[in-house]
Structure 1
Amino acid sequence: MNTLRFKTNINCGGCIKAVTPTLNQVAGQGNWQVDTSVPDKTLTVQANSTTAQQVLEAVQEAGFEIQQA
């Protein structure tokens, strides 16, 4: 299993709620988390077949900024 990390502007519970359907569809429920307590707001994805590009596109489509860490 690969671990993918990204810097985002997902910074609160409301943001997480907004991006949850998209990330669940791309990465699978329970395969991702956002650490909003750190300055970079790190999104970590545990992925077998999900690519970094798929995650980048999904988060951007949900209206958030993201870059690979």
Structure 2
Amino acid sequence: MEILKFKTNVTSQDEVNKVTPLLDKLDGISKWQISTDSEENILSISGDNVNPQQVENALTEAGFTGEFLRVLGISGEEL
């Protein structure tokens, strides 16, 4: 299990709702959340073999931007 972090421009719950169906259908993701109260609106994803480009493409499809920041190689599902 690894955790991926992305900087996004998703700033509200309504916007999170727009990305939800697109992120939910991506392979390998077991859990995700967007911290809309942080300055960089960080998207954290827990999963196995998650493709960062597919995540960025899903955000773009919903009308938002996402910049891949890093992968943390840890076990568990804590974001």
TM-score of the two chains, using structure 1 as the length reference: 0.89
Gaps of 5+ in 2: 70-79
Off by >2 Å, runs of 4+ in structure 1? 27-30
**Percent identity for Structure 1 against Structure 2:** 33
Question: Structure 2 CA distance, aligned partners of 1:27 and 1:59?
Answer: 15
Pick the structure with more helix per residue: 1
Aligned residues, how many? 69
1:1-69 residue pairs with structure 2 within 5 A? 1-26=1-26, 31-69=31-69
The CA deviation string for residues 15-57 of structure 1, in whole angstroms up to 9 with x for no partner, is: 0011000010115776110001110000001121221111111
TM-score of the two chains, using structure 2 as the length reference: 0.79
SS of 1:32's equivalent?
Answer: strand
Question: Structure 2 CA distance, aligned partners of 1:65 and 1:15?
Answer: 12
